[in-house]
Amino acid sequence: MSDLAVGILGGAGRMGRALVRAVTEAKGCHVIGAVDAPGNPEFGKDLGVLAGIDPLGTVLTDDVRALFQKADVIIDFTIPRVTAANARIAAETGTAYVVGTTGLEPEQQAVIAEAGTRAVVVQAANFSLGVNLTIALTRRLAEVLDDSFDIEIVEMHHRHKVDAPSGTALALGRAAAEGRGVSLEHVADRGRDGITGARKRGHIGFGVLRGGNVAGDHTVIFAADDERIELSHKAGDRIIFARGAVHAALWTAGKPAGYYTMQDVLKL
């Protein structure tokens, strides 16, 4: 069986370059190409050189549709409006599509879910194995502990991150809400400032920090009177997210069209 041909969107960005390295390191796949937004000054440069590894003989372009047509699977860590447009192309071409973009609006998310009726779509707020285990543990703890345990989620990322709370923090919040049998939208406290009054029982709070080059730190706190449980995951480098996305890309081979998550990939 031939190696899986992987295409990368946003190939000139920090995550795109990490994905090129991760695909090159993995067995059973190879980089077929990468694209970026029109006007990028890196166009025409070898993808391996851009990623800081040996030349791959493939250069960065802006022809998205051509990449979808020749790739077995596409990995997308770009921005919401671009990802929604790319999801429509995935649906048209039937190309497997791995989505790590965060900060999506409901209508953009709906487009991605719809693409799953015509192609294999794997979406996750975070592709790290450790983070997905933390999500599963958060759901289980929320099932076991009643609302005498207050739930707070604290996250920190690098100064360049544009969305808050992070997609991973929201995924942790959804897992906690699912464990409690409630909707996160009804119990989330996403910002506190000034005289807010006492904490509402059963609510899930979020704290957001930004600074430096932090790849991603997340802590879920279950706090009751006289005891506290904390689940933490700290990412040292974004390569862990790239490796997880490549794992998901390899998993798509031979799967029927459908919308999947990293929890499906890892059988959690």
Question: CA-to-CA distance for 104 and 221, rounded, in angstroms?
Answer: 25
Catalytic residue of the set 45, 70, 161, 203: 161
Summarize pLDDT for 54-83 with one digit per residue, the tens: 999 999 999 999 999 999 999 999 999 999
Single out the residue of 123, 84, 97 nearest to residue 260, CA to CA.
123
Q: Give yes or no: 157 in active site.
A: yes
Rg for the chain, CA atoms, rounded = 19
Residue 108 burial (CB count, 10 A): 18
Q: What is the mean pLDDT of residues 139-161?
A: 97
Instruction: Specify the CATH number for the domain of residue 66.
Output: 3.40.50.720
Strand-by-strand arrangement of the 204-210 sheet? 188-189, 204-210, 150-157, 216-224, 227-235
Q: Give yes or no: 27 in active site.
A: no
Q: Is 245 found in the same domain as 118?
A: yes
Summarize pLDDT for 156-213 with one digit per residue, the tens: 999 999 889 998 999 999 999 999 999 999 999 998 899 999 999 999 999 999 999 9
If phi > 0 it is left, if psi is from -120 to 50 it is alpha, else beta; for residue 258 that is left
Q: Is 111 found in the same domain as 27?
A: yes
Contact status, residue 115 vs residue 184, Cβ threshold 8 Å: no
Taking 80 as the threshold, does the pLDDT of residue 52 lie above it? yes
Q: Is 231 found in the same domain as 247?
A: no
Q: Is 110 found in the same domain as 181?
A: no
> Domain range holding 38?
4-123+238-265
pLDDT given for residue 240 in this prediction: 92
Question: CA-to-CA distance for 150 and 146, rounded, in angstroms?
Answer: 9
Q: Is 155 found in the same domain as 94?
A: no
Q: Is 200 found in the same domain as 135?
A: yes
Q: Is 201 found in the same domain as 158?
A: yes
**Total count of domains within the chain:** 2
Catalytic residue of the set 157, 218, 233, 247: 157
Q: Is 117 found in the same domain as 14?
A: yes
Q: Is 188 found in the same domain as 251?
A: no
Q: Is 117 found in the same domain as 17?
A: yes
pLDDT given for residue 140 in this prediction: 97
pLDDT given for residue 257 in this prediction: 97
Q: Is 256 found in the same domain as 228?
A: no
Q: Is 153 found in the same domain as 23?
A: no
Taking 80 as the threshold, does the pLDDT of residue 25 lie above it? yes
